[in-house]
Homo-oligomer: A and B are copies of this chain.
Amino acid sequence: METTDFKLTSWIKIPVNSDFPIYNLPLGIIKHKDGKQSAATAIGDYAVDLSALHRLGYLKGIALPDAIFDKPYLNEFIALGKPVWHSLRQRIKVLLGSDNGELRDNKQAVKECLYSINDVELCMPVKVGDYTDFYSSKEHATNVGSMFRDPKNALLPNWLHLPVAYHGRSSSILVSGHNFHRPKGQVTLPGSDNPSFSPSKALDFELEMTFIIGKSTELGQSISTKEAGDYIFGMTLFNDWSARDIQRWEYVPLGPFLAKNFASTTSPWLVSMEALEPFRTKAPDQQPEVLPYLKRSKADSAIDITLEVWLQAEKSEAVKLCTSNYKYLYWTMEQQLAHHTSNGCNINVGDLMASGTISGPTPDSFGSMLELTWNGSKPISLPGGQERKFLQDGDTVIIKGYAQNEKGRIGFGEARAKVLSAI
């Protein structure tokens, strides 16, 4: 760990409180105006083209195949392994540091490597093979259980013993900025078993984060909580859009399907676990005691990441709906990964593991409209006199996230998308 790195400065101008100081250096995929895609890192309001850096010889000494940064996804780079991730990060920090002139003083090279973030398109960072969605917030599961079952027995019997999860749809994961149409589906009136087919009237967001797998396993192999860190590359913000009315009718007995698979939104930059290390914090206590394969490897297996959800109605200002934190999760990512592989299920580089809705203890920290409006019974007031029980056409939802402590601050950018009317 290099906490002193927070004091580093760059010859690239970085706005105060930027999500992307020189310490962060997340990885993503950018598309240039000519359509060419390349891997990049973000610094301040710039994207640094790693393909160009590599081609121009600025990454010598790192074990990188030719054209590794010219691929449409980061999977092949990530598969090179943790020592290579680390070397790249270290090298970029040096190269962009205030006192380094190697790149800075070569105007032609700067022109080829440095792009205003407004001049490039941010793309899906990885090709997701399999996408798993956990359900790891005790507050969220308790809220849902209280609303739809029994407040006194809100959690189902398995919930405190294992991180409940289900498989999601990879094909419909969108990168921030891509809008989608309101889904249609079978819905029923309360108390009725006669469905009709219509656009969802209960479209919701879910405030989530993901971790992206950095190392594959073979079928039959299990990962311990202690080993889990070696298999995780980085994290993103995530919105698991949900149609509550479709979900209510379809989900028994095999879980959510069309209620979720019409769209999910990820932020574009993969923030590395290395960059997040200084923000480790204590995870919530667990009672009853978990089985041995789920025992946490360390006390600070949570991460302190402040999360915000903003809603921007058409022609209105964005308003903040909630503030939550990744550290609230009852099940940590090392426990999630140990559980996921405990039966021998294999994982692949680029797999996306989402946290489930991250709700906190207070009503202003609930991570979905379902909880914020208590299933529509307490509408949210918006500026200009509008109200929301669930999302309306034209609503843009923006998830933001950042980690901050006395040492410094890094952010995730945003996961943003607008709800278009049903086709």
Residues of chain A touching chain B, judged by Cβ–Cβ distance below 8 Å, are: 129-130, 135, 156-158, 161-162, 164-172, 174, 180-181, 183-186, 193, 195-197, 219-220, 222, 243, 246, 249-258, 261-263, 291-293, 339-340, 342-348, 351, 423
B262:A156 contact, CB within 8 angstroms: no
**A162-B195, A165-B254 as given contacts; A343 in contact with B219, CB under 8 Å:** no
> Which of B170, B345, B348 is A261 in contact with, Cβ under 8 Å?
B345
A247 to chain B, nearest CB (A): 10
A292 CA / B343 CA spacing, docked (Å): 42
Collect the chain B residues with CB atoms within 8 Å of residue A261's CB.
Answer: 167, 343, 345
A315 CA / B348 CA spacing, docked (Å): 36
Collect the chain B residues with CB atoms within 8 Å of residue A220's CB.
Answer: 180-181, 423
Collect the chain B residues with CB atoms within 8 Å of residue A252's CB.
Answer: 156, 158
A293 CA / B246 CA spacing, docked (Å): 15
A217 to chain B, nearest CB (A): 9
A339 CA / B351 CA spacing, docked (Å): 26
**A162-B195, A196-B291, A249-B158 as given contacts; A172 in contact with B346, CB under 8 Å:** yes
B169:A345 contact, CB within 8 angstroms: yes
A141 to chain B, nearest CB (A): 9
**A164-B250, A197-B292, A254-B164 as given contacts; A345 in contact with B157, CB under 8 Å:** no
Name A197's closest neighbour in chain B (CB-CB): B291
**A161-B195, A181-B220, A263-B219 as given contacts; A345 in contact with B258, CB under 8 Å:** yes
Collect the chain B residues with CB atoms within 8 Å of residue A195's CB.
Answer: 158, 161-162, 291
B254:A342 contact, CB within 8 angstroms: no
**A185-B342, A291-B195 as given contacts; A169 in contact with B423, CB under 8 Å:** no
> Which of A157, A253, A340 neighbours the largest number of chain B CB atoms within 10 Å of its CB?
A253
A343:B185 contact, CB within 8 angstroms: yes
Collect the chain B residues with CB atoms within 8 Å of residue A130's CB.
Answer: 169-171
Known A-B contacts: A172-B346, A197-B293, A261-B345. Give 17 more (CB < 8 A).
A157-B193, A158-B186, A158-B252, A167-B261, A170-B170, A172-B345, A181-B344, A184-B222, A184-B344, A185-B343, A186-B291, A195-B291, A197-B342, A219-B262, A222-B423, A251-B254, A255-B256
Name A168's closest neighbour in chain B (CB-CB): B167
**A185-B343, A252-B156, A343-B262 as given contacts; A257 in contact with B197, CB under 8 Å:** no
B345:A170 contact, CB within 8 angstroms: no
A76 CA / B23 CA spacing, docked (Å): 42
A250 to chain B, nearest CB (A): 6
